[in-house]
Amino acid sequence: MPRTSSNASTTVTVARARPQRALAKPRKAAHRTGAKTVSGRGNKGASPGPVVLVTGASQGIGAAIARAFADAIPGVRLALVARQEKKLAAVARECVARGVAARAFVGDVSSESDVARVAAEVQAVWGGVDVLVNNAGSFRPGRLLETSVADFDAMIATNLRSVFLVTRAFAPAMVRRGCGDIFNMSSIAGLSAYPTSAGYCAAKFGVTGLSKVMRAELRDKGVRVCTVYPGATLSPAWEGSGFPDERLMPAEDVARAFVDVYRLTRRTVVEEIVLRPQAGDL
């Protein structure tokens, strides 16, 4: 069973392998524009705010994106996805403490069956998502000729296959509603060659290509698609790298870009965001 702690306005739930009961009525596309969100923390008595699903939300940039939406969008409902249940639940609690609803959905976004289960759970609770942030990813260094097949496959699975699976699960409802936002996390390694990162670079270039197709196919369906290309950003992924923290961008800066782009009127799409440390790439 899901573990739940709740009060009138906020809830932390850890969804596990079995589908959970609906805890709230699925909402009918109440949220239509990025700019028009409901006001009032905790969303008491107001129409519900957007449902924002963030993959890879248990730490790093994904957790920062969740906190940024919690701080900036009153009434937002956060669906947080990752594999590590405890860390994910901790981030959900942090967001709830900021006055919004947040739920943890445990799953591997490179697994077709996990993504299908998470999609069913989110559907049961909130009836779909308004904003999808395909952030989950991982990095394994390796020069081309020294990269094992297993490592290459892992890079493709977590960074690229995941974007395909999760988007395929949630975008159809956006198309039916004629409204939605999709953010895909690429990297500056998805823009130019990074020797010693063969698998990662291939996967992030793949994200770039997939995003361009999404944008082309969903443009006339009311769904905005934005590809994000950060350079070195401070997160647990850089632990032990030896670089001073000041040399990397704060995850909060990258997260803020998502919120700022989302808040523009629906007449405007930001197709790409490139962010780099002011002192240059690492």
Ligand X SMILES: NC(=O)c1ccc[n+]([C@@H]2O[C@H](COP(=O)([O-])OP(=O)(O)OC[C@H]3O[C@@H](n4cnc5c(N)ncnc54)[C@H](OP(=O)(O)O)[C@@H]3O)[C@@H](O)[C@H]2O)c1
CB 55 within 8 A of CB 82: yes
104, burial (CB in 10 Å: exposed 0-12, middle 13-18, buried 19+): buried
Q: Which residues between 179 and 198 bind ligand X (CB under 6 A)?
A: 185, 187
Size of the site for ligand X (CB under 6 A): 30
Q: Which is nearer to ligand X, 124 or 238 (CB)?
A: 238
Write down the least CB distance from residue 264 to ligand X, Å.
22
Q: Which is closer to ligand X, CB of 75 or CB of 183?
A: 183
- Least distance in Å: CB of 38 to ligand X? 28
| Token reading at 167 | 């988007």
Binding status of residue 276 toward ligand X by CB under 6 A: no
Q: Cα separation of 156 and 164, whole Å?
A: 11
Q: Which is nearer to ligand X, 40 or 236 (CB)?
A: 236
CA dist., res. 59 & res. 195, Å (int): 26
Q: Does residue 135 belong to the site contacting ligand X (CB under 6 A)?
A: yes
Nearer to ligand X (CB atom), residue 82 or residue 223: 82
Among 52, 132, 179, 232, binds ligand X (CB under 6 A): 232
Gyration radius (Cα) of the chain, Å: 18
Cβ contacts of residue 146 below 8 Å, gap of 6+? none
Among 127, 137, 206, 277, binds ligand X (CB under 6 A): 137
Give the shortest CB-139-to-ligand X separation in angstroms: 6
Q: Does 58 bind ligand X (CB under 6 A)?
A: yes
Whose CA is closest to 62, among 254, 205, 272?
Answer: 254
